[in-house]
Amino acid sequence: MVSNLNCGPAPGTSIQNLNPEPQSKLAILRRRARLVGWPDALGQAALGMLQKLIAWASAARVAPIWGEHGLDPHLDMGRPW
């Protein structure tokens, strides 16, 4: 399998940020609601918040498990996958 993920832009091209201003969470939610409807968009937003809450709540439980097995919880971006 060949991947061009780390090859960068093609010669003679440049990468441009089309929207330099960050969008608010509400603007993202409104755009998502326009695409899939309010019930689904609100459900997706609630699931995202629930996932963050679960990750925060389980961090104290997971850290000793990492340490017990000699694992580092921080991703090393210098290593290829």
Tens of pLDDT, residue by residue over 5-46, are 556 666 767 777 676 788 899 999 999 999 999 999 999 999
Q: Domain for residue 43, yes or no?
A: yes
Q: Domain for residue 4, yes or no?
A: no
Q: What is the pLDDT of residue 2?
A: 54
- List Cα–Cα distances, 69 to 12, 59, 65, 72, in angstroms: 47, 16, 6, 9
How many domains does the structure of the chain reveal? Answer: 1
Q: What is the DSSP track for 33-59?
A: HHHH-HHHHHHHHHHHHHHHHHHHHHH
User: Residue 31's domain spans which residues?
Assistant: 25-68
How many CB atoms within 10 Å of residue 70? Answer: 6
Q: Domain for residue 53, yes or no?
A: yes
Q: Domain for residue 40, yes or no?
A: yes
Q: Domain for residue 76, yes or no?
A: no
What DSSP character marks residue 29? H
Q: Domain for residue 55, yes or no?
A: yes
Q: Domain for residue 49, yes or no?
A: yes
pTM over 0.85: no
Q: Domain for residue 16, yes or no?
A: no
